[in-house]
Amino acid sequence: MRIDIITVLPQLLESPFSHSILKRAIDKGLVEVNLINLRDYSTHKQKSVDDYPFGGGAGMVMSIEPISNCILSLKKEREYDEVIYTSPDGEVLNQRISNKLSSLNNLIILCGHYKGIDQRVRDHLITKEISIGDYVLSGGELAAAVICDSIIRIIPGAISDETSALTDSFQDGLLAPPVYTRPAEYNGWKVPEVLLSGHFAKIEDWRHEQSILNTKARRPDLLK
């Protein structure tokens, strides 16, 4: 899989891909992530990528020209399954969307900034718009990092314990059960007896029951 992230702040995105599961997936060659500096596609002397909004008003708008140049130059090299724009008014990211994106080959993620991007980019060059929640960020970089993390960790081989990603919350439509580790007792607070029983089937039943209780209490909407 290949993910090309178009951004005005590539430095902001270096850290998320340099640690833990994402770094390992990249090192293993399961995914290639490229940070593309949008300014490299500006034809302006000062490498600017934004301009004043038509009709006036506060904030700058990202211009169509560098974005279009950048996307077209990437598209010349390969076909893309989706060209994603991170946007607070996009479809809200969930596990179903991440699973689907995770099975694709080539993705572009465009990070917005300022007041947003010229609407013509969205109308003609973008194939999918994703929000990471009902709040506004300063730029699309953190949203792109969240989207990439949720996609990459479920690529087979990215997590060493293969079943681990599949037993996470949302994968089976339920929230995860509680987890414990040693010591079995701390401050008089005990780990549920069943987890120490060594009885695999009973443990599975208990976990499933806890998942349902947890989902009923916190996210009853998932059970509908």
Distance of CA 113 to the CA centre of its chain: 17
The Cα 164–Cα 31 span in angstroms is 19
DSSP states along 63-115: -HHHHHHHHHHHHHHS--SEEEEEEEEEEEP-HHHHHHHHT-SEEEEEPP-TT
Shortest reach from residue 4's CB to ligand SAH, in Å: 16
Report residue 188 as tokens. 């008089």
Its sign, for the CA torsion 108, 3, 155, 93, is negative
**Is the CB of 112 or the CB of 177 nearer to ligand SAH?**
112
Q: Contacting ligand SAH (CB under 6 A), which of 67, 143, 154, 175?
A: 143
Interface pattern 77-116 for ligand SAH (x via CB under 6 A): ---------xxxx---------------------xxx-xx
Do 148 and 3 touch, CB atoms closer than 8 A?
Answer: yes
14 binds ligand SAH (CB under 6 A): no
Shortest reach from residue 109's CB to ligand SAH, in Å: 10
Interface pattern 36-75 for ligand SAH (x via CB under 6 A): ----------------------------------------
Give the interface with ligand SAH as residue ranges (CB under 6 A).
86-89, 111-113, 115-116, 131-133, 135-137, 139-140, 143
